[in-house]
Amino acid sequence: MVYLDSFAHEEWDIHHTDERLRLKPQPVPGALMLRLITLLSRGLYRKMFAAWPGEVRDALIARHLTVDARRAGALERSNQHQWGEKLMGAGPVPGRPAVMPTAPGIDAALRLTMPERLLQEMTEGKIRMHRAMAASVAHGEHRVLAGAKHSTIGTDCPDEVVRAIFDLWRRVR
């Protein structure tokens, strides 16, 4: 299993001791705020997909820059604690070989909403959590992808993500 900067509800709260980082319901922004977020996201998506072929890039940017896409993301985050509980009900991380890449970079939206010290604590907790998760399974490996942010791990460090997949594949063959 390759966990790309994964979320693990029970592990999250264990490794993030600051109450402000605990997982709890988040309100879905109203239509005006969603439009503003969409507008402010243009540069992010243009940068994220800059190296992609034009036809694919343009389609991805167009889809990401809709209010519906922003609303879908907000809805996913709004009930994160509920789907986290469902993950917990599934039991511990499977005892299979795993690579746990961590993206220590901070997404731009978080920089607007959280103090720097809290962002640092969140990143340190994420690293502790992924390290512990990797140590909990046979042949688990933790990797910190220095140039990656959570929301863009696959486009920030594509070679490292592919390398993790191939390394894991070689282990299980």
- pTM for this predicted structure: 0.79
pLDDT of amino acid 9:
62
- What are the phi and psi torsion angles at 90 (to 5°)? -80, -10
DSSP string, 11-78: HHHHH--SGGGS----PPP-HHHHHHHHHHTHHHHHHHTTTS-HHHHHHHHHHHTSHHHHHHHHHHHH
Q: What is the pLDDT of the chain when averaged over all its residues?
A: 87
Same domain, yes or no: 127 and 101 = yes
Which H helix or E strand runs over 46? helix 42-48
- What are the CB-based long-range contacts (under 8 Å, 24+) for 115-119? 118/18, 118/20, 118/21
Position 116 in a domain: yes
Distance from C-alpha of 119 to C-alpha of 62, rounded to nearest angstrom: 30
Position 103 in a domain: yes
Matching residue, tokens 């980082």 = 21
Position 88 in a domain: no
Same domain, yes or no: 156 and 106 = yes
- What are the phi and psi torsion angles at 101 (to 5°)? -75, 135
- Reported as a pLDDT band with limits 50, 70 and 90, residue 93 is low
Position 84 in a domain: no
Same domain, yes or no: 97 and 171 = yes
In the chain, how many domains are there?
A: 2
Tens digit of pLDDT for each residue in 98-142? 899 999 999 877 887 789 999 999 999 999 999 998 998 888 999
The boundaries of the domain holding residue 58 are 26-78
Position 54 in a domain: yes
Asked if the model's pLDDT at residue 63 lies above 80, the reply is yes
- Residue at which a domain ends, from 10, 44, 78: 78
